Every structure is written in structure tokens, then in C-alpha cells.
Amino acid sequence: MKRFLRSTFVLFAMALTLATSGTAAHAAAPEDADGGVGAPDCVRFSAGWRYTFVTNDCSSTHSLTVVYRDGTDVPCRLAPPGALITFPGHGTLGNEVLGVALCDAGGNG
């Protein structure tokens, strides 16, 4: 019984890894729907149905937000160099993460 559970778990973990590997390490979007400035190339993201992880590999701090196809508005987050910031994912209803955008200086970040 233990062998069955272990092999089932390993199979499930492998399937999950393969299913999500296509979304790992997207480049940042050049502009969001409101004409905002896209994040620099040193900002990367990985979008999943539950979470979107944004990594700031730049040498400076940035205020960032995630841009969604359906226009979902999420607050800006401050990302110092080397930070991994978590945003909501795309969900299961067909939404999509288009990229990461810089927030303006007067924004909420």
C-alpha cells in the first residue's frame, strides 16, 4: 500500500511539473492596457492558476503590478533586488497573466 501511494504521489508531482513548466519564466509585457510602462527585462514572472510569482533580478528596487487579460486590478508591490513577490494567479476561468508592469511614482506602490 505504501508503494502504491508513493508511486501515485511521484506520478502526480511529475505531471504537475510538466503541466506548469510551459508557464515558467515569461518575459515582462512591454505595456499594460492603461499604457503603463512594462517592467525591465530583469523582472521575470511565472504564472499559475493560483499564484503568479514575480522575481526582481534587477540591481534596483521597483514597484510592480501584474497585468491580467480581463483587467483585474491588483495593488502595486515594492520589490527590492532579489525579491520574489506573490500575486494572484490567473484562476480557472480562462483569464491570463499578460505580464508585469512598473507602477508610476504616484501609484499605490
Element spanning 78, H or E: strand 77-79
- CATH node for 24-102: 2.60.40.20
Which residues share a beta bridge with 68? 97
pTM for this prediction: 0.64
- 35 DSSP 8-state letter: -
pLDDT for 61 equals 96
- 31 DSSP 8-state letter: B
pLDDT in tens, 21-36: 444 444 444 443 444 5
pLDDT in tens, 51-73: 999 999 999 999 999 999 999 99
Boundaries of every domain in the chain = 24-102
Q: Which residue has the higher pLDDT, 25 or 98?
A: 98
